[in-house]
Structure 1
Amino acid sequence: MQQKLYYPAGSDQLRNDLMLQVLYLVHDLSDPAVRRRVVMLQAGGAVVSLAGFRRSLEPVAEVAGVAPIDLGRTGDGRFAQRLAAVVQAAWTLKAALRHVARPDVIIGRNLEMLALANRARAIFSADVPIVYECLDVHRLLLRQDLAGKAIRSAERALGRNAALLITSSPAFIRQYFEPFGQAGMPVELVENKVLELGQEPGRTIRPAPVPVADEPWKIGWFGALRCRRSLELLSEFSRLMEGRVEIILRGRPAYTEFEDFDGFVAAEPFMQFHGAYRNPEDLPRIYGEVHFSWAIDFFEEGQNSNWLLPNRLYEGCRHQCVPIAMQGTETAQFLKALDIGFLLARPDADALVALFDQLDGEQYESARARVAAQDRSTWICNEDDCRALVGRLRALVPVRGHSVVRVAA
């Protein structure tokens, strides 16, 4: 028989005390993916305290209703500066966390925050479990020189106190954590699915209509825009198509990876950049304006880019956009298993031209119908998934605390 917690009338503080207390340490408070994870933890029944660095110029006032503790600003690609910031934060962390309730679980989002999670554990209690959240395997971790070996050694040492590893793609386990001996803890796969809370299961998806007459096909490249090769490839392709295909860009460009992103896009006749968007609030609208989602990333080709399952894969398919991916990647393997999407054999504009030269409305509708036919749970995370994640975290916590009256359902 299912058991429920019983809270006496007026016992909001007791109920709050009984909820899982999570300290979430993040590398970028301004990252929309951090907001999504905070919301997911809250929806699962956790109280979240948030601290971390930021990449934005201005401080972040709140994240999903949580006032974060700002540990300072760091920069993309500035690894020496980030290391110095972590060292500085470690010295001042006790003071920074002085008003934070003792957590039940500490989550460190990526390696630098795993280091601070270990420091926070020493501040609060040695029996607080640490969770290592690793959603990308940076190229520095894969180097075979002394620097790479030193970083992996540091990761193993910091991971000894971790009770759980959260990652988003099984390829990260197969290609990195297991062969390099970095995964000494249990693993929880949490894919980059679209967070949908309180949504009706049958809510209407309005995909973009098939072009008629001289209207163009539209490819959407949304999210973290960091791949210069994708930008150049889509530029060349759209020019070759002479207006029959348009490229729509939305999200946050990694300006350190481009010589002049804004100038480049402004000079393109068939490419547009529409800036940042809210996730998940804006997803139905922006994906409803394009026919295809660009699920290709050459940023760390042969390594992280080949192994990840990106946010845009789930977002696009949830809204019935047909994904375009590269053969030989984890994304391609994922799509092949479902028999959906289009896969490029070669990473060049000619391969894209060949795909679109043979594409007509009927073929596209068939491809989109196969995407639409997939179970929605393939693409979305709902309240049950949030509760399951928090339940997994709760299982890590040593037995201690309150006396709770239980009543049968």
Structure 2
Amino acid sequence: MKLAYFVHDLNDPAVARRVRMLRAGGAEPVVLGFYRGDAPPDMIAGAEAIDLGRTYDGRLGHRARATLAAALGVGRLREILAGAEVVLARSLEMLLVAVAARRLCATSAGVVYECLDIHRMMLGQNLSSRTMRGLERALMRRCSLLVVSSPAFTREYFEALQGLGPDAPPPVLLLENKVLELDEPSLSRARERERSAARPWRIAWLGAIRCRRSLDILTDLARRRPDLVDVRIHGRPAYSEFADFAAQTTQTPNLMFGGAYVADDLPRLYGDADFCWAIDYMEEGQNSAWLLPNRVYESSRFGATPIALKGVETGRFLEARGFGVRLADGLDIEAFLDQLTPEAYAALRTRLQAAPSHDFYADRSDCLALVETLSAARRLPTDGGK
């Protein structure tokens, strides 16, 4: 099955992971999208990558203009998209481009909308927010499938605000942000640390680093209590969200920013940690309360106990599975760690190790199931073929 995958950032590691899933499931994807960073890749996980232009974090006006220009210029992609049976769009901006591309270049393809975040712009009651939701509803009428990474996105947004339901398609596929393991799992779920469980407790914060309040909590605690915590941050910071990320991380004792990483680093980074910071305040009460981030699956897979908030979807995920730490507020981390004994820590690890491992990783059977679902979506109507 030939598949055209429209993405917001060709350099996003999560895009490469999805491409690996698609290829492992039997699809033949070509990836088209914008890029952030210095240069776009020519290939992504063995698939051809087509550059649609550069965009930037936080510059929504520029992204809107780039999206419109890409949608208006999709005619030049006709040869690349010829024969595509499915058009998959990652994010709303790419859905606009994908729907235009389907109409002009791949008229028999099914359209699938992959929504992995709900931007705060979509949630207001002002004219711009209502207009964006109206645009999304119009584009979704042309879709044969909606893919979400958290059930709260469906419950709290698509059903509550966008009217999705039995009489208002498309159908929904829940595709969680699990660790991808295509070969026989050979990595230890919970690599034992080389030192005894004792203070300072090591907290790992990995992935998309974009929450200013989380950084403030962790740097303040590391500065005041070097006896209690050792914080390790790795990933891709959204520098526009911080006053001075570099200064804050380099000037804080007992806190280290290690830069970007690749998937093969995860067993080491989490295996060397006691806990994973899975708290996010960036869009408190909205997207931050609904998402299930990569880090909750990765840390659980590789043995670092996740720390989340009660009352949000990540906290409910941990509660349902009987492991992890759930706090009323991120500031409670100091009191929790102050009272943590080696025996209580060992009990936390035991509960984590007892959780079903397949809750945290996807294998080849999951990839095959995904592509089979996408293949079925190509046979569903997409707004009368318009």
> Is TM > 0.5 for Structure 1 vs Structure 2?
yes
- Equivalent position amino acid for 1:297 in 2: D
Q: 1:234 to 1:204 in 2, by over 3 A?
A: closer
**1:314 maps to which of 297, 300, 304:** 297
Tell which deviates more after alignment, 339-348 or 216-225: 339-348
Listed one character per residue, the Cα deviations across residues 82-102 of structure 1 (whole Å, up to 9, x for unaligned) are 010011112222214533442
- Equivalent position amino acid for 1:231 in 2: L
| Aligned counterpart, 1:282 | 265
**2:250 maps to which of 253, 266, 270:** 266
Secondary structure in structure 2 of the residue aligned to 1:334 = helix
Q: Distance in 2 between matches of 1:209 and 1:234?
A: 24
- Equivalent position amino acid for 1:259 in 2: A
**8 Å Cα contact 2:301-2:360 kept in structure 1:** yes
| Aligned counterpart, 1:299 | 282
Deviation at 1:123, TM superposition (A): 1.9
| Aligned counterpart, 2:319 | 336
- Equivalent position amino acid for 1:363 in 2: A
Q: Distance in 1 between matches of 2:311 and 2:156?
A: 13
**8 Å Cα contact 2:189-2:303 kept in structure 1:** no
Deviation at 1:346, TM superposition (A): 2.3
Is 2:193 the partner of 1:208? yes
Listed one character per residue, the Cα deviations across residues 258-294 of structure 1 (whole Å, up to 9, x for unaligned) are 1211111000001100011112x22111111111011
**2:183 maps to which of 198, 201, 209:** 198
Is 2:55 the partner of 1:70? no
**8 Å Cα contact 2:279-2:330 kept in structure 1:** no
Secondary structure in structure 1 of the residue aligned to 2:16 = helix
| Aligned counterpart, 1:239 | 223
**8 Å Cα contact 1:27-1:52 kept in structure 2:** yes
Deviation at 1:142, TM superposition (A): 0.2
Scaled by the length of structure 2, the TM-score of the pair is 0.94
Q: Distance in 2 between matches of 1:139 and 1:79?
A: 12
Q: Distance in 2 between matches of 1:344 and 1:203?
A: 28
**8 Å Cα contact 1:53-1:71 kept in structure 2:** yes
Q: 1:334 to 1:56 in 2, by over 3 A?
A: same
Deviation at 1:201, TM superposition (A): 6.2
Q: Distance in 2 between matches of 1:365 and 1:390?
A: 40
Deviation at 1:225, TM superposition (A): 0.1
Is 2:373 the partner of 1:392? yes
Identity of aligned residues (%): 45
- Equivalent position amino acid for 2:28 in 1: V
Deviation at 1:79, TM superposition (A): 0.8
Q: Distance in 2 between matches of 1:272 and 1:206?
A: 21
Is 2:131 the partner of 1:150? yes
- Equivalent position amino acid for 1:324 in 2: I
Is 2:48 the partner of 1:48? no
Q: Distance in 2 between matches of 1:209 and 1:362?
A: 17
Q: Distance in 1 between matches of 2:378 and 2:118?
A: 27
**8 Å Cα contact 2:88-2:111 kept in structure 1:** yes
Which portions of structure 1, spanning 4 or more consecutive aligned residues, are displaced by more than 3 angstroms?
A: 200-205, 209-213
**1:369 maps to which of 350, 355, 358:** 350
Is 2:232 the partner of 1:248? yes
**1:98 maps to which of 79, 85, 90:** 79
Listed one character per residue, the Cα deviations across residues 143-163 of structure 1 (whole Å, up to 9, x for unaligned) are 111111000000001111000
Is 2:308 the partner of 1:325? yes
Q: Distance in 1 between matches of 2:308 and 2:222?
A: 17
Deviation at 1:317, TM superposition (A): 0.3
Bigger helix share = 2
Q: Distance in 2 between matches of 1:204 and 1:138?
A: 33
Deviation at 1:363, TM superposition (A): 0.9
Q: 1:222 to 1:396 in 2, by over 3 A?
A: same
Listed one character per residue, the Cα deviations across residues 355-392 of structure 1 (whole Å, up to 9, x for unaligned) are 01111111111101111111111000000000000000
**1:382 maps to which of 350, 359, 363:** 363
Scaled by the length of structure 1, the TM-score of the pair is 0.89
Deviation at 1:240, TM superposition (A): 2.9
| Aligned counterpart, 2:384 | none
**8 Å Cα contact 2:4-2:30 kept in structure 1:** yes
- Mark the runs of 5 or more structure 2 residues left unpaired by the alignment: 381-386
**8 Å Cα contact 1:104-1:397 kept in structure 2:** yes
Say what the alpha-carbon RMSD is for the aligned residues: 1.6
Q: Which of 1 and 2 has greater Rg?
A: 1
Secondary structure in structure 2 of the residue aligned to 1:356 = helix
Q: 1:202 to 1:77 in 2, by over 3 A?
A: closer
Secondary structure in structure 1 of the residue aligned to 2:134 = helix
Is 2:146 the partner of 1:165? yes
**1:79 maps to which of 56, 60, 65:** 60
**8 Å Cα contact 1:205-1:319 kept in structure 2:** yes
Q: 1:170 to 1:272 in 2, by over 3 A?
A: same
